[in-house]
Amino acid sequence: MTIQITRRAALLGGAGLAAGGLAMPAIAQNAPIRLGGLTTLEGPFATGGQDAYRCVQMELERINNTIGGRRIEFIRESSNAQADVALARARKLIEQDNVDIILGPLSGAEGIALRDYSRTLTGKSIVNGSSGASDTTLRNPSPNFFRFSTDGTQWMAGLGRHIHGLGIREVAITAGDYAFPYAQVFGFNLEFCRLGGKVTQYWAPLGTTDFTSQIAQINRSNAGAVIVVHGGTDGLAFMTQYAQAGGSKPLVGGSIMADQTMLSARGPHRRVMMGMLSGGPIADIIDDPTWTDFVARYRRRWANEGGFASPSIHGVNYVTNLYGILAGLRAVNGDLSGNQAAFQRAMAAAELTAPTGASVKLDHNRQAISDIFLNRIEERGGNAVVVAFDRARAVNQTLGMPEAQFLQLGSPSRDNAGCVA
């Protein structure tokens, strides 16, 4: 068998040589599709980045790294959640590794940087990894940037209303001072303030690991709950220090707080996180057969190689976006010719089912419209797990508001956090 292939390859090579330029398109068609992965294997989201690659690798192995008769070559790059680093690595993927498509990045500001970079490219596509800043696709979108995952604002759909429904009228929000938390806080405030709720915001730069002074202020305030929109090590530091300071207000998490990246780390934070509410695109336990199957495959594949008890939010977002790429490639049978025009059209029209069972389609900005889960952290069999107890279907980027009206609210930022009555 090996000999046969070698011989065929030799013949093909010979034919190629003989035919010269004429045979070139055929060879290009059979050349592997180069898919560049960009995630954070360094910095505060290293754990999430690692899991993103686990999930992507698993799904590529599942299709035997082949689509439309073409092999997919996956080239891994890493950044540290900083926009400039992500941009440099993306350039490296495009210019030196000569990739056709980039799958990534993971973090908010990186997404905006890559969106801008994608606009300068011809015949290349960048498909989001897990970054969730809303402006990446909402304002000034790039025709070469696709996002099959939902953004940070969407992830908070229903949460503000739910908290208000619990009788809580004033909350303290502690959040990272960068694009993704802006989007999350904006989504929460939009509902909570509209219902008459009052918020006090505490911002801290990404990479802050000492929150004690902020916690001292929060514990002395009248807030009825604390909304924690941090992630990675920052989130873990906040939760640990909150527990150590004897914090007792109910906690509500941003979407990357209630995640296995946080729950699998040991420490006193687990105690205060029990019962925490959150909103987001995934939960550990979702009553959906697609998700049950995905989780089972994930556990089989990674249980002995450092995988989590359940796939992380970043893993699921990367896979959802990978599905978008694969749907596009399948539709054009792996043909990326014509500066990827047909492929990009196919991606824009793709409708798919995310690993969570949520249905995904893109809006006119190539941004996902998909399902959002309301979650609670519960103890199951001695482990802390995130359980979905409600599901909002087909949430769009403006949370159902007419787009013009939503755009008028301005871009989410520290000074424009969506709290309009």
Residues that bind another protein (CB under 8 A): 41-44, 46-47, 49-50, 80, 177, 202-205, 207-210, 212-214, 216-217, 220, 232-233, 236-237, 240-241, 244-246, 261, 264-268, 306, 414
The alpha carbon of 282 is separated from its chain's Cα centroid by a whole number of angstroms, namely 10
Q: Kindly state the smallest distance separating residue 160's Cβ from another protein, in Å.
A: 23
Question: Is 155 in contact with 132 (CB distance < 8 Å)?
Answer: yes
Residue nearer to another protein on the CB measure, 235 or 328: 235
Residue 143's closest CA among 278, 351, 302, 345? 345
Place of tokens 């029209």: 349
Residue nearer to another protein on the CB measure, 309 or 331: 309
Residue 39's closest CA among 31, 29, 47? 47
Residue nearer to another protein on the CB measure, 68 or 207: 207
Dist CA 263 CA 105 (whole Å): 23
Q: Kindly state the smallest distance separating residue 50's Cβ from another protein, in Å.
A: 5
- With 0-12 / 13-18 / 19 or more C-beta atoms within 10 angstroms meaning exposed / middle / buried, residue 246 is exposed
Phi–psi pair at 225, nearest 5 degrees: -160, 160
Q: Check residue 151 and report its DSSP letter.
A: P
CB count within 10 Å of CB 201 equals 19
Residue nearer to another protein on the CB measure, 121 or 245: 245
Beta strands 225-229; 351-353: pairing state: unpaired
Question: Is 15 in contact with 23 (CB distance < 8 Å)?
Answer: yes
Q: Kindly state the smallest distance separating residue 234's Cβ from another protein, in Å.
A: 9
Q: Kindly state the smallest distance separating residue 200's Cβ from another protein, in Å.
A: 13
Q: Check residue 399 and report its DSSP letter.
A: T
Q: Kindly state the smallest distance separating residue 391's Cβ from another protein, in Å.
A: 30
Residue nearer to another protein on the CB measure, 139 or 414: 414
Q: Kindly state the smallest distance separating residue 226's Cβ from another protein, in Å.
A: 16
- The answer for 338, left when phi > 0, alpha when psi is -120 to 50, beta otherwise, is left
Residue nearer to another protein on the CB measure, 131 or 398: 131
Residue nearer to another protein on the CB measure, 220 or 364: 220
Q: Kindly state the smallest distance separating residue 8's Cβ from another protein, in Å.
A: 39
